[in-house]
Amino acid sequence: MEKTVIGRGMHLSKGNGNLIVLLESETRIGMDIADKEGRPMGKVFDVFGPIGAPYASIRLIEGYPMGNPSGKLIFKGERPKRQYDKRRNRRDRKRRTRHSR
């Protein structure tokens, strides 16, 4: 499984402690972010700056040991796939067929 690099860390903002990243690929607000080991770091909080060289503000998970972020690669995080309740789906299917007569 290949990790997708979304950008390089620049610095921590002084106001709210978010990580500022220079983006290298497309990202969306709310996207999960991970470090090079695959550990979750946080979520994209804001995307700003010029279209040619956008930046992202990443709200870090509380207690994440960031250290010096300058030049560190930031990766797209993996979201676990949703588990659907088979029993509920089966029940809903029966309900739909019963009412469709």
Per-residue pLDDT of the chain (101 residues; tens, 9 = 90+): 578 999 999 999 998 889 999 999 999 999 999 998 888 999 999 999 999 999 999 999 988 888 888 889 999 988 766 666 556 666 666 655 555 55
- Alpha helices (H) along 1-101: 86-99
What would you measure as the largest C-alpha separation in the chain, in angstroms?
A: 65
DSSP 8-state secondary structure symbol assigned to residue 25: S
pTM of structure: 0.73
Q: Where are the beta strands (DSSP E) in the chain?
A: 5-12, 19-23, 32-34, 40-48, 55-60, 73-76
Structural domains in the chain, CATH included, are 5-99 (2.40.10.230)
**pLDDT of 20-31, one tens digit each?**
999 999 999 999
Residue 66 C-beta-side C-alpha neighbours within 13 Å? 24
